[in-house]
Amino acid sequence: MATEPLTRRPSSLREVARRVLDGVERFDPVLREFLDHFYADAADRQACIAERPAELGKVEDAYLAAVAEHLALSYALSVPDWTEEPGRSLQRPFFAGGLDSLKAILIVESPTAFRRRLLFVSADALSRPRMDAA
C-alpha cells in the first residue's frame, strides 16, 4: 500500500490508523496532525470522523472512538455509529501520563466521551494551536 507524503496532514481518523498500521507514523504525533487538519477545515469536519478506522490496539481504538464522539458533540456533528462498536471501550481504566499523582485530576477533567470509555485524560488533551483560529 502506498503511503501518504508526510507533508500532508491526515484528513481523517481512518487515515490516522492507516498511517500507524503502515509504520509511517506513531499514534500520538499523527493524531495531533489530524487535529490540526480538523480544526482548520470547518467544511470537512463530518467526513474527518465518519469512516471507521482500522483496529490498532485496545487503548488506541477506544481513544479514536472518544476523539470522534467528543469532536462530534463539540461541533454539532453526527456521532459516527462505529464509535459504539465492541472494542471501542476499555474494560480497565487507562490514565494518560502514567503518574499516580495525576489520577484524581484526570478523573475530574476527562471529557465525557473519554470517561465513559475508561480513558482518563486532561481537559485539554485535544487542544491544538489551530483550535482557536478555527
**Residue pLDDT, tens place only, 94-134:** 998 877 788 999 999 999 999 999 999 998 888 887 665 54
Q: What is the mean pLDDT of the chain?
A: 90
Q: State the virtual CA torsion across 46, 40, 59, 72 in degrees, nearest 10.
A: -30
Measured distance CA(58)–CA(62) in Å, rounded = 6
Q: What digits encode the pLDDT tens for the residues 34-54?
A: 999 999 988 899 999 999 999
Amino acid sitting at position 122: S
Q: What is the Cα–Cα distance from 11 to 47, expressed in whole angstroms? A: 8
Q: How many CB atoms sit inside 10 A of residue 116's CB? A: 13
Phi–psi pair at 17, nearest 5 degrees: -65, -40
> Which positions ≥6 away from 116 have C-beta within 8 Å?
89
In tens, the pLDDT along 57-85 reads: 999 999 999 999 999 999 999 999 999 99
Say whether pLDDT at 12 is over 90.
yes
Is the model's pLDDT at 6 over the cut of 60? no
Task: Please report the pLDDT score of residue 4 as a whole number.
Answer: 46
Burial label, 117 (beta-carbon count in 10 A; 0-12, 13-18, 19+) = buried
- Residue of 59, 52, 112, 115 whose CA lies nearest to 85: 52
Q: Half-sphere exposure of 112 toward its Cβ, with a 13 Å CA cutoff?
A: 6
Place of cell 495531533: 32
pLDDT given at position 81: 97
